[in-house]
Amino acid sequence: MNPWLLLAAVGACVGAFFYGQHVGEQGAEAAKAREERIGRVAYEAGQKGAAAAIAEIKPQNVTILQELEREIRTNTIYRDCRVPADGVRLVNDAITGRTKPAGGGELPRAGPAEAGP
């Protein structure tokens, strides 16, 4: 077998490989460009559709002449209350204004000032 023929066959195979690689890269670039173009067209169409929908919005000022319905609960029940009885008593005293000042309202007597260290 002729070594030049073998070398030519190997060279042709290597050349075909690199040519195929180049063609594959071009195909991938073309597919990417096509996807970007489709995305851009879809984005522009969406923007135009949104702009048209926003342009069709007409503000309406309506005056409502009905009475307001109110529902007032007077028997509020706290079923899940886990505050001890003393805490509930303190809260109820604070709500009704029947709180007692600390120390029963008595102030401590005035005495001599303590000397510092």
The answer to whether residue 33 is domain-embedded is yes
Look up the domain containing 18 and give its range.
Answer: 1-56
The answer to whether residue 115 is domain-embedded is no
The answer to whether residue 117 is domain-embedded is no
pLDDT tens readout for residues 63-75: 888 888 888 877 7
pLDDT band with cut points at 50, 70 and 90 for residue 59: confident
Number of domains in the chain: 1
> How far is Cα 57 from Cα 60, in angstroms, rounded to an integer?
9
> How far is Cα 110 from Cα 8, in angstroms, rounded to an integer?
116
Does pTM top 0.75 for this prediction?
no
The predicted pLDDT at position 41 comes to 92
Q: How far apart are the first and last CA of the chain?
A: 112
The answer to whether residue 42 is domain-embedded is yes
The answer to whether residue 38 is domain-embedded is yes
